[in-house]
Chains A and B, each alone.
Chain A
Amino acid sequence: MTGSESIGIILGQAQKVAAEAEVFQMRTEETPVRFETNRLKQVMSRQGVVTALRLVKDGRTGFATISGQDGAGEIVAMALETAPFGAPAKFTLPARMEYTGVEVLDPGVEKVSVEEMMGLGQGLIDRLKAHTPEIVCEGAVAKVVAEVRLVNSRGGAVSFRKSLFVLSMEGMVTRDTDMLFVGDSEASCRPIRDNETVARSIIDQLEHARRRASVSSGRLPVIFTPRCVAGALMMPLSMGFNGKIVMQGASPLGKKLGEKVFSDQFSLYEDATIPFAARSRPCDDEGVPSQRNVLIDRGVVGCFLYDLQTAALAGTRSTGNGSRATGGLPVTQPSSLVIGEGKTSFEDMVKDMREGLIVEELMGAEQGNVLGGDFSGNVLLGYKVEGGEIAGRVKDTMVSGNIYEALRDIVAVGQRSRWVGGMLKTPPLYLPRLSVVSKG
């Protein structure tokens, strides 16, 4: 039985017992090759199909998922069992609609051979070893092809294929008990043909960390590199703009729509329509067409993000952010996030600091009171700036602050942005003085 037949049958069975129904199916084929200790360790192949059924019975939502081919009969019974306890269904499933083409499939990805993937990863490792012979690398090259199908009882139907290619590498340099961790990754719907971007980034990290430096405790200016912006700031920001959290009254931004909350140098977009970006898609997991959402326009809060049910509860429209990544009912999640570029070069930011820090990776930043915007983490990779120059790597250092305060008083936004792991495109951010505690 092909996929389109099976979801049609499930929809038909569900419609016999429920007022509304929606069947979502995702089929994935993933081929990762893994490297350990500087060499190829494992070649993998993963095939899977997940089918999710959401139905509305007596005004309440029922839900079930199955993995694998079997159980079309079972899934309707399972979803029906949950419906009497389910939340009141406020959403309206989208009827048949036109989807503008968002480019997310490059047939070239499927054609990349395992040998080419092995070569790409090993080439990167060899290049890093040529720079730092004692480096021990671990990483992966993966290609994924996914096929999404969605049908609902209002006649809505969509299906699309998407490709994804990922290159990620981490290196570790050990001297006595001192461990240095470097790394980067790249992801796209198109094949990655060379290791240049990732190699350049990791080699820069190795160069900057070559010397050691000690930093004073106190309040110091701090530059977050794009990787650090992704690691430390995106989770609290995503939560702040999540329509559900706003509706619950738990977002510090909740009542600030249209108000200037951030520095006028700071703009943030959520955009699932960028051609070939790893998180792009023609529509979200509920069939709502993708759009570009302006979250922050020069410091002013522009909108919040919604899935269908949350939007209905909040009396607004879905922004195309229904996601099934949790395995349960759709919840609000951003696709790609993009921070607008500013006017300052990275070099000028560094030159501006008498004593300060550049943070590449802040470990544990997501562990604090994320909802309130607090972050506090160990500088796993970061460099001291002294007299406008990078002096060396700092260790045993914690940086703490609050994202809402830091992004309000932002000093400068970098003029060149880059993608981090396919989820965020951002320039470096020059933040005001943050609390730095260091053992020196």
Chain B
Amino acid sequence: MRQEMEEALRGNNADYLDLRIEKRNTSHVVYRGKEMEDIGRAGSQGGSVRALVKGGWGFVSFDDLSRLRDKVKLAIAQARMAGNEKSQIATLPPAVHLFDGDGGAGYRAVPLARKKALVEEYNQLLWSVPRIQTSNIGYGDVYKRVVFANSEGSYIEQERTDFVLRLAAIARDGADVQQAHLSVGSLGNFNAVTGLHRQVKEMAERAVQLLSAPKVTGGEFPVVLDPVLGGVFTHEAFGHLSESDFVYENDAVREIMVLGKKFGQPHLNIVDGAAVPGLRGSYKYDDEGVPATKSYLIRDGILVGRLHSRETAAKMGESPTGNARALDYHFPPIVRMTNTFIEPGKVSFQDMVGEIKEGIYARNWYGGTTSMEMFTFSAGEAYMIRNGKIAEMVRPVVLTGNVFTTLGLIDAIGNDLDMNQGGGCGKGAQSPLPVSNGSPHIRISRCLVGGR
């Protein structure tokens, strides 16, 4: 394929061209209630071309890998329609990298029967808990090989395997329906989704307990977040704001996001990086062929960096960070997070909670979203904190705030960093992209909590 790809890119009249060819295999197992609902396999193969002419981009995606040169020509013609300025992308030495993984051996080593048996086991365990009304379990995996080549001479082969397992237990009392969730995932290690029996049982028990838990009265509270929710908070409340495609051509936003600006107290350090190995957001090169990095976004409470594609880096006069990612060959790469986390501090969980008279301890991920300035995220599990102690369980809560004030309200950072691998990130139509995020336990001195 290499020769055909390089041939297709050669001698064209464009400022920049790249070509990605992807082959993927997936399988999934879905249980709803006691019965299996869906088991299946899928295979796909396709590619895309991206062309840059005078600052305008053309993009062509296709399933049919013949006549690559025609597709390159179409992308160039499209780019020409969109372009009307000088093209700018960060300069980069050409890179060559060949497949160095297991060629999918680890993926193929797990037969479909094993996957089905695992999900069935969890489902039976979940149903062993009294008063469970129903369950939903989805298991999915992907093995993909991606080959990238560009007009500057880069040629990069990469492969990856992803495993994801999501479970939900639903309990019911009359018209009252409550649910509890668990999500886990791994880059390449099937064992990460096995052996979760204790957690699965606890999840089912929690769904039942929620039926008798009271709702929180809405208002402003001190809130302690566990590492899972702290990670979602980091991703939603700050991570998306540091994606430069939102900043680079918007003067007003550039002013808000000027490097050197104080965002938090000196104990706050936030990092993103695909170069942090072994996590679901990890890779060697991004989908523009830029080597992965580990970037400090906030250091000692000060904004010191942001996430870039080659174009945003050039237009902002900063270095590329290797954060341009595409969900698959149907999409052009855009600026995305990888593994995003708050670095650990020194405060113990006991001390963090001990200082709160009335507050909320929010655990576990349910969802999160951002409008950049405002964010919301929801906890799968919540408890009142009363007089320095974890008190009664309450119904799951939705928390919201303004990122520019809330980061500064983090007044305690724990010593127990943990990464959540069960999430996926959506941006534009590209969802879910494998990412990880994490945090130690953190305390926000005041946070708006919805409720009746």
Contacts and interface: CB of A to CB of B under 8 A. Distances in A.
B452 interface: yes
Contacts of A201: none
Interface string B35-68: 1111111111110000000001111111111000
19 contacts: A37-B249, A40-B56, A45-B78, A46-B62, A47-B63, A48-B46, A48-B62, A62-B40, A82-B39, A174-B256, A176-B256, A177-B256, A177-B373, A179-B371, A181-B371, A371-B170, A378-B400, A396-B374, A398-B449
Contact of B218 (A65, A179, A372, A400): A400
Contacts of A364: 367-369, 376-378, 398, 400
Listed residue (A181, A251, A367) with the most chain B CB atoms within 10 angstroms of its CB: A367
B219 interface: yes
Given A217-B219, A250-B172, A313-B35, 13 more contacts: A40-B81, A43-B79, A44-B58, A45-B61, A66-B44, A67-B46, A87-B39, A174-B252, A174-B256, A179-B371, A369-B177, A377-B376, A396-B401
Contacts of A41: 56-57, 82
B438 interface: no
A43 B45 contact: no
A123 interface: no
Given A174-B252, A437-B451, A439-B448, A376 B398 contact: yes
A376 B59 contact: no
Main secondary structure of the interface of B (DSSP, over half): strand
A172 B371 CA distance: 10
Interface of A: 33, 36-37, 39-49, 62-71, 74-75, 78-79, 81-82, 85-87, 114-115, 118, 134, 136, 172, 174-179, 181, 217, 244, 247-252, 313, 327-329, 331, 363-364, 366-369, 371-374, 376-378, 380, 395-396, 398-401, 404, 435, 437, 439
A400 B378 CA distance: 13
B112 A82 contact: yes
B81 A328 contact: no
A39 B84 CA distance: 10
Nearest to A361: B371
A49 B61 CA distance: 11
A427 B444 CA distance: 40
A43 B35 contact: no
Contact of B45 (A67, A181, A247, A401): A67
Contact of A244 (B32, B63, B179, B330): B32
Contact of B44 (A44, A67, A87, A377): A67
Interface string B380-392: 0000000000000
A373 B172 CA distance: 13
Contacts of A172: 250
A400 B451 CA distance: 6
Most chain B beta-carbon neighbours within 10 Å: one of A313, A329, A395:
A329
B39 A85 contact: yes
Given A67-B63, A377-B376, A437 B367 contact: no
Interface string B172-189: 100111110000000000
Contacts of B220: 439
| Cβ-closest 10 pairs across A and B | A364-B376, A67-B44, A376-B450, A174-B252, A367-B367, A43-B78, A68-B63, A63-B40, A437-B218, A248-B134
Contact of A43 (B56, B369, B372, B452): B56
B402 interface: yes
A329 B64 contact: no
B107 interface: no
A45 B59 contact: yes
Nearest to A248: B134
Contact of A66 (B43, B397, B449): B43
A325 to B, nearest CB: 13
A378 B374 contact: yes
Interface string B153-192: 0000000000000000010100111110000000000000
Given A67-B46, A81-B112, A217-B219, A367 B368 contact: yes
Contacts of A115: 81
Interface residues of B, number: 81
Contacts of A248: 32-33, 133-134, 170
B271 interface: no
A403 to B, nearest CB: 12
Contacts of B178: 369, 372
A374 B37 CA distance: 26
A42 B62 CA distance: 17
Contact of B398 (A75, A136, A250, A368): A368
Contact of B134 (A69, A250, A331, A395): A250
A62 B41 CA distance: 9
Contacts of A67: 42-46, 63
Nearest to A330: B38
Contacts of B259: none
B366 A367 contact: yes
Given A70-B45, A376-B450, A179 B28 contact: no
B42 A372 contact: no
Contact of B395 (A369, A373, A396): A369
B201 interface: no
Nearest to B175: A252
B349 interface: no
A14 to B, nearest CB: 14
Given A43-B79, A177-B373, A37 B250 contact: yes
Given A174-B252, A367-B376, A372-B178, A396 B62 contact: no
B26 to A, nearest CB: 9
A37 B39 CA distance: 44
Contact of A328 (B38, B177, B330, B367): B38
Find the residue from B38, B178, B368 having the highest chain A CB count within 10 A.
B38
A58 B54 CA distance: 60
B43 A74 contact: yes
Given A48-B61, A66-B44, A82-B41, A363 B82 contact: no
A238 B402 CA distance: 31
Nearest to A313: B35
B332 A250 contact: no
B372 A376 contact: no
A47 B62 CA distance: 5
